[in-house]
Every structure is written in structure tokens, then in C-alpha cells.
Structure 1
Amino acid sequence: MPCRLVNMNSNGFGFSFGNNDDDDDKNRNNDPFGLFGGNFGFGGQGGAGGPGGLGDILNQFGQMLSGMGDSMNSPEAAGPVNYDLAARIARQQIGRVAPVKDSEKEAVEESLRLAELWLDNATQLPTSGHRVEAWNPENWLENTLPVWKRLVSPVAEQMNKAQLENLPEEAREMMGPMSSLMNSMSSMNFGVQLGNALGDLAKQTLTGSDFGLPISPVGVSAVLPGNIAEASKGLNVAPQEMLVYICAREAARQRLFKHVPWLVERLVSSVEEYAVGLEIDTSHIQEAMGNFQMDNPDPERLQEMMNELQGMDLSPRIGSRNANAVSRLETLLALVEGWVDIVVTQALSERIPSTDAMNEAWKRRRATGGSAEQAFSQVVGIELGAPKVSEAAELWRRVENAVGVERRDAVWNHPDFLPTAEDIDKPAEFIDALLGESDGEDFDPIAEITALEKLLAEEAEKKNDSEDDSEDDGSEGTSDKN
């Protein structure tokens, strides 16, 4: 499923957060990674008692009011998102959790150390050397909130701006005296949405980079042993094997984040770039309303119009002028997770017999749109769906077969060398190019880029010098003529 923009709730007073407990129970019974299941989409739909219905609305409104108090007076209440309120609601969702036991910390440290040792045989990228931490859901919330702020703030800010620009000029003038109140309510609404999403995600996530985004603090490899133990209940796998598997995935990602210095910034900046171009389209709403004549209609016709309106999607459509940022983000995440799939499988498959079973469970979780991805769409507005991780993994496998592990990992040296979305779908041409490069004995991709940049700079300098000489000749000719 391709990455797409989510039709976010642009109304600052909408509260729709569905949660189907029956589906969650079913996922828990059939698939331990079904714990990631959930309904996080903006603009949830349902009857009065169903997801997104009156019960959910009143529940969310009650949660918002219960957290108002000090949150309304906090410094963050004036920003695009009331993060104080978000943190309060997230903690309510998490509830009381036990501190991580010393035995759990030791198990995480030993599992990560073992995973790092085995990964050395599967990749040329060295260990990250990061500090190992074992978290509970509350630790996860506290430690990842700074990165969530960076991801969510530009989206919320641009959404508010787009909403105001979309209003008719008369309405904007009328809103002027109430702008402060409206901004505060919009900030609270975003805070409620973020708090609910992060509270649910905290109880289900397994590591500090569960879905390809580095949201844990720099220099930290984090694992949530309690959540992993819960997820392993649905698999016929020893808990220790599950822990080593998840630790290996975290360790592999952190190797990339540490030794590919441009990668983290490119992932986060793609979200920011998308946010800058946010636009709200209400033309379909205006068109629908224009088809109805409201000048003294008879009761029967009025009822017909109401029935027709109920069957229409009248929610504002959210888009971005920077749609390429979404595609780039999807491609990067697919390449990261595909690479992780390959190196983890190679590192563990001969040592842990249940590796294939855990890989399949992980794929099912990813294919069904786990709540990690849906939570991301909830708070950022980009629905990742199921990025082409399997296709990316197959590309990395074929690259390794063609040019070896060292050249495979060297592709990460510069963003210009990475496969594109087209390469993921049709990798043959990309692999042929690598084979051509490998014919050279001393191929150095960074040196090639540096040489190219130097050549372009020299050509630009010559062009500027030529233009300066032409201007000088022209001025001298004019002077002689005068």
C-alpha cells in the first residue's frame, strides 16, 4: 500500500478516536504483533455507540476538560500543540505501570550484547556503541516526546494557518477578536489527539525506533521488555528468543542511525517539508452545498436534502504541495526496514530456529497496518500504510548477491547512491549500475561525489569570470565611444 496523505480533521473541535476492543482481542489471540492493531485515523466514523460516535466524542471531551486546569495556563498552551495536555492524557492512557526490574534490565543488556555480536557477521557497519536502556511505557513517553514535538509542531502550525486562510474574508474579520481563544482551543485539540495516540502507542511499542523513525534520544538503544513479553504470548516462541530478536532489530537500526549521519535528519526533515506545504481543499463541500436550494423548501424536500447530505463525505481534504516529501519518507523507511530484515535474518537464522516464525509475525503486523504506523498518521498526518519493505528487502538481498556485503552497505554512504522508489520496484538497472562500478578496483563513492562537486564548482567559477570579463569589455567600449 503506498504512502498517502491522511484526510486529517481540520476542524479544531473534532474528537474522533475509534477503538474496537473486539478487533484488538482477536488480533491478540491470533498474532502477538496484533497488539499493534488499533484505530487511530483522523475523522473516525461510526454510530452513537461505535468508534467515532457520541460516546467517543463525550469521552474525549471529558478527558480534555479533566486536563484543562493547569494545562490552559502552561507556557505550551500558546503553541500549536498543548504538549502539557498531551502528556497528561497520554499518562492517563498508560495508567499505572511497574518500574523496570533489575532482572529485566540485565536481560535487555545481555540480549543486545549478544545481538550486536551476531550482527557483526551480517553487516560492515560497526556497532553503534549506544547506551542500552530498558524502558516501561512511561519511560518511553518521557524520552520520545521531544522528537514527537519536532514532528508534530510544524504540522499543527501549518494546519492552523491553512484553516485560517481557507475562511472567507468576512469570517476572518469576525474571527479576529476571538483568534486567541480559537488558537488555544486548536492547541488543546491537537494535544488531545497526540496524547491519545502516544498513550496507546506507549503500551504497544517494543523499541525506541519501532517503525523506522529514530524517536529515542541520541546515543540510546532502548527496548521495552514488558511490552515484548506481552507480545510474545501469542507466539510459540521462548520469551528470551523474542527478546533477542527485537534487540537485534533495534541494534541494526541504531547502527544505521549512527554511521549514516545524514539519515536521521533526512527522515525528520521530510515530515517538516511535507508540513510546510499543507493545504485544505473545501471545494467539494462548496459544490455539494451549492446543489441545494435552501430558500423556504417544503419539509419533505428538506428531509430529502438532509438524507443526501448524510451520505456525502463533507470533511475537508488535506493535501500538501510537497507530496514528494511523503514519497521520499516512505522510500527511506522501506529501505531502512528492508535492510534491517536482511541483516537480522542473516545474523539470527542459524542461531535461533524461530527466526522465520518471528519474521512472519512481524510482516503480518506490518502488512495489516499496525498502530505504530496509524499512530504516526494520527499525529503527523501522513499514513504510511504498508511501505514496500518486502520489496526493499529483496532489493538488498539481490544487491548483496551481486556485489557483496561491503558494497551493499557502502550504498548508504551518500543519499544520492540510495535506490529510488522506482529502483525498489525494478531493481535490475540499479544492480547493473553497481556491477559496473565494482569493475573498478579502487571505487570510492564519497571521493567520486567530492570530485564531481569540485568539477561543478570550477565550471561555475569559470562561468562567473567569463561574465565579469564580458561586463568589463562592454563598459570599456562604451567609454571609448563617448
Structure 2
Amino acid sequence: MADDDTTPGGGSSPEDDFQELIRQLFGGGAGDFDPEQLSRLSGMNIDPAMMQAVMRQLQGAFASADESGISWDMAERQALHIANQEGLGVTAGQRTDLDQAFALATLWLSEATTISDLASPPVTLTRGGWVEATLPVWQDLAAPVATSIADALTSALSAQAPEDMQGLVQGAGRLMRTVGGSLFASQLGQVVGSLSKEVVSGGDVGIPLMPDGEAAILPQNFADFGRDLEVPEDQLALYVATRELAHARLFRHAKWLRLHVISQVTDFARGVHVDTDALEDLASRFDPSEPDELRRAIESGALLPARSEAQEAALARLENLLATIEGWVEVVTETATSRLPSAQRISEAVRRRRAVGGPAERALGSLVGLEIRPRRMREAAAMWRAVTDAVGPAARDALWDYPDLMPSASDIDDPAALVARLEARARGEEPARDEMDDALARLLAGEVPAAAAEGDAPAPGASGEKPETEGDDSDDDGSGAPEDHRPV
């Protein structure tokens, strides 16, 4: 102890004790603290018991955090704790009833769409089972925001630290990231856990959360959903089963669609950055003994700035894509369940529920800045009905065969133009040419592109002669293009 900095009374100062605790944390010794050392923290107005709990929590977060400092295990534990609170499982009677609904829905769907059946049978899930099945997708969607918050928190707290503490703060960089990442993971877990009490089926949220080709219903939530609809439970089960199977069939058939949706969501999420001014303001008055203020700021979305133009464009693309998917599912489900007397009432309830969203879905929007409700679902459904009436289910469903065939936002705006193209194709007529078609035809014919003509430089291969190789100055035609760049 002779080499230690001591107070005039011979003991170490509270500040030294605090810094020594931080060093223990980084050294991996946070499991057992010296009680006497903790008691001396009272000189800094820090509750030793609170500090011990905080340090142990942080050590647990360190152990489960990944390279980004985010503890996804914490998110899963939090979500499962909420999902399993009521301890309700799936009864044998519920499973039997839903299995029968799925079986009949499969037959009805075969008459309404040419997209084939699933390879694996649909399942009934508990809320906890839904959390475990879907959390990997939630993690992928939330990771960019979690990383941004962790980075910004590290930077903001470093900027607020006094000069004589900069060395300690720089050494505590991982601690800062873990605090931000752990708080975000905890909030994500709460949101996903709460969402597990709202969703009725695997495709209920609109994005492909379930593994490819899997359909599922949550009996606990199904019962809550139908309680106020005043429709027979067997009819409700048939409608929900048909809708879920249609959603799962579509994503199994169009194997590219899942990646397309997820990439649209992550394109938006990558553009999310934390409002550093708001975070610095919060950091300037942040009390480590009162982490609720930071937790509330993360949960409310107060740290996320207004969307940029690029984000607004990405969100518009995503909304159109989700509306196109949901519109097709609605039309196919409507056709398949036309025998149900209560189908229209159930359909309107589902549509209204998807448009408004539940509390947990709104909380998710605040957490990651993304609302995943298809605002144009009615317009998209009207487009799919017009297509079905004009060319039939087979030609309609063939639009999901390749990404470039899928209807666009302009087709939702003007279904008549899409119908005209499909009817012309059905008659064997060539589709109307556009500028891209003309440019491609000129390129394939070896004609000089307009840009090259304006610069008085012939296009590679336009004269029919082999372009000169690089480094050969004889008879240079000025193109400078290697042979591999000649049009085929």
C-alpha cells in the first residue's frame, strides 16, 4: 500500500476507489468487490449497494455482448420473460381446431391461386416460441440503430468528461458502448416481448419474420383477437389460417422476395443516425444512478432525428413493396374464403388492425424509426383485383416469378396500364417499347451511342474493326477501350 495514492488520513480517496473499481471491471474482476472498498464510495455520494449491482450488471453485459458491444442475449431474455409471463401454452384442443382450419384453408387456397402449397405443415406457436423464431430477424433490423446509439453515446460522454478524466474515459470506451448497447437491447427485448402478445400469426406484421416456407398461428392471441368481433370462432380460424398460408406460400414461391423486403428495411435502418445534439444534452445531465432517463429517451425515439430525404425515399419504397404483398394476400384470401358468411366482416377487421397497428408495433416504430404498416394496401388490393378480373389467377400469380415482373408503385397508381400490358402479352403482342429498349437495341446493333457521338469519339467496335490494345499508339482511333468492352 506504500505506493498507493492516499488521503491525508492514510487511506485511499473515494475517487481512487471508484477508478480502481473501473479497472477491476475492465480486468474481469467485477464478480467480487471488496466490501470495505465499496463502503468508501459514500464519500462520493454513490450508494455502494447500487454501485455493486451496476457493476455486476455490466459484467454480465460484457460477457454476453458481441463485437459491437450489444447484448442480444439480453434482448432475448427480456422478450421471453414478457412473452412467458402468463404461462399459457397451446392446448390439445386448440391445436386440433387450428390443424383442421389449416387443412381446409389449404384446399380453398388451391382454388384461388396457382402458387403451390408449403413443403412443411403449419404450426401453432406459443408467444415464447414466436419470440425465439423471429428474434434473429428483429436483431438484423435493429442492429444498425443499436450500433449508432452505442457509437454516439461513447462520443458524447467522452466529450462531456473533464480533461483530467479523459484518460479514464478513453479506457472505458467499451463500457460506454456496453451501456448504450445494453439499454437498447433491453428496450428491443421489451418491444418484441410485448409484440408477442399482439400478433396473431407469423405474417401478421407484414415482413417475413418466420423462416422460409413456415406458417404459424398463436392460439393465445387468436382468442383475444376474435373476442370482440362477434363471429363464430371456426370461421375466424378459417380466415386467419387462409391468410397466413397465402402469405407463407408467396414467400416460399418468390424466393427472392424475402431478401428483397429485408434489404429494403435495412436500407432504411442504415440511414438512421442518432441526434448527437439531443444525446449530448442528455449526457451533460446524465446521472448514472438514474438510468431511466436514458432508457426513456431510447424508447420514445427522442434520440432519432427527423428522417432524411434518402430515408423518406427508402420508406416510400418499402411501403409500396409491403402494400403490394399485402394486397395480393388480401385478394387471394378474399377469393378463397368467399364461402364464409362472416368473411367481409373479418376482412375489414384485419385491414383496420393492420392500418392502425398495436401499442407494441408503435413502440417498435419509435425504437428504430420505422413504421411497417402498408399505407397503400387498399389501392394495391384494387390493382390485384383488376389484374385478376382481366387475365385470371395464373397470369396474376406469374408476376411473382421474377423481380422485374412484380408491379411497381406506378402500377398501383394506374392499374389500367398494367392490365393493358398483361392483356397485350396474353394476345401475343409485343409490349410497347420504351427508351431503355431502344438504347439496348442500338447498343446490340453496334450503333454509336449519343454520348460518344457528341464527343466525336466512336463507340468501341462501332466501325467493325478491332480496337487497338492499350499501349499500341499506331493508328489510334481515340477510343482507348480494351477488347473486352466491345458490345456483344
> Do they superpose with TM above 0.5?
yes
User: What do residues 44-71 of structure 1 show as CA deviations (whole Å, max 9, x unaligned)?
Assistant: xxxxxxxxxxxxxxxxx9xx97993774
Opposite residue 239 of structure 1, the aligned amino acid is: E
User: What do residues 256-312 of structure 1 show as CA deviations (whole Å, max 9, x unaligned)?
Assistant: 1010111000011112222233334568999x9xxxxxxxxxxxxxxxxxxxxxxxx
Contact 2:62 2:178 in 1 (8 A): no
Opposite residue 360 of structure 1, the aligned amino acid is: E
In 1, Cα distance between the equivalents of 2:203 and 2:439? 34
Contact 1:71 1:84 in 2 (8 A): no
1:325 is aligned to 2:325: no
Structure 1 residues 86 and 438, CA, compared in 2 at 3 Å: closer, same or farther?
Answer: same
Match of 1:126 in 2: 116
1:187 is aligned to 2:181: yes
Structure 1 residues 257 and 379, CA, compared in 2 at 3 Å: closer, same or farther?
Answer: farther
Structure 1 residues 266 and 66, CA, compared in 2 at 3 Å: closer, same or farther?
Answer: farther
Contact 1:78 1:184 in 2 (8 A): no
Match of 1:338 in 2: 327
Match of 1:113 in 2: 103
Match of 1:103 in 2: 93
Structure 1 residues 315 and 265, CA, compared in 2 at 3 Å: closer, same or farther?
Answer: closer
1:146 is aligned to 2:136: yes
In 2, Cα distance between the equivalents of 1:132 and 1:456? 51
User: What do residues 330-354 of structure 1 show as CA deviations (whole Å, max 9, x unaligned)?
Assistant: 11111111111111111112x2101
Match of 1:447 in 2: none
**Partner of residue 215 from structure 1, selected from 205, 209, 217:** 209
Contact 2:200 2:221 in 1 (8 A): yes
Match of 2:284 in 1: none
Residue correspondence of structure 1 range 242-261 to structure 2 within 5 A: 242-261=236-255
Q: Give, in angstroms, the shift of residue 457 of structure 1.
A: 9.6
In 2, Cα distance between the equivalents of 1:234 and 1:265? 36
Residue correspondence of structure 1 range 392-431 to structure 2 within 5 A: 392-431=380-419
Match of 2:474 in 1: 476
Residue correspondence of structure 1 range 151-162 to structure 2 within 5 A: 151-161=141-151
**Partner of residue 364 from structure 1, selected from 337, 352, 365:** 352
Q: Give, in angstroms, the shift of residue 84 of structure 1.
A: 1.6
Listed as ranges, the gaps of 5+ residues in structure 1 are 1-60, 289-312, 444-450
User: What do residues 189-239 of structure 1 show as CA deviations (whole Å, max 9, x unaligned)?
Assistant: 111211111111111111112122111123321111121012111111111
Residue correspondence of structure 1 range 86-101 to structure 2 within 5 A: 86-94=75-83, 95-101=85-91
Match of 2:20 in 1: none
Listed as ranges, the gaps of 5+ residues in structure 2 are 1-49, 282-300, 432-436, 449-458, 477-488
Opposite residue 217 of structure 2, the aligned amino acid is: V
1:199 is aligned to 2:222: no
Q: Give, in angstroms, the shift of residue 379 of structure 1.
A: 4.5
In 2, Cα distance between the equivalents of 1:150 and 1:314? 22
In 2, Cα distance between the equivalents of 1:106 and 1:269? 37
**Partner of residue 437 from structure 1, selected from 406, 422, 425:** 425
In 1, Cα distance between the equivalents of 2:389 and 2:135? 40
Q: Give, in angstroms, the shift of residue 366 of structure 1.
A: 2.2
In 1, Cα distance between the equivalents of 2:161 and 2:438? 54
Match of 1:268 in 2: 262
**Partner of residue 348 from structure 1, selected from 337, 340, 343:** 337
Match of 1:178 in 2: 172
Q: Give, in angstroms, the shift of residue 115 of structure 1.
A: 0.5
Q: Give, in angstroms, the shift of residue 453 of structure 1.
A: 13
RMSD: 3.8
User: What do residues 366-420 of structure 1 show as CA deviations (whole Å, max 9, x unaligned)?
Assistant: 2323346425424532123452111110110111112221111111122222222
Opposite residue 421 of structure 1, the aligned amino acid is: A
Match of 2:41 in 1: none
Contact 1:197 1:378 in 2 (8 A): no
Structure 1 residues 378 and 439, CA, compared in 2 at 3 Å: closer, same or farther?
Answer: same
In 2, Cα distance between the equivalents of 1:233 and 1:138? 22
Q: Give, in angstroms, the shift of residue 132 of structure 1.
A: 1.8
Match of 2:57 in 1: 68
Opposite residue 332 of structure 2, the aligned amino acid is: V
**Identity among equivalent pairs (%):** 32
Match of 1:232 in 2: 226
* TM-score normalised by structure 2 residue count: 0.69
**How many aligned positions are there?**
383
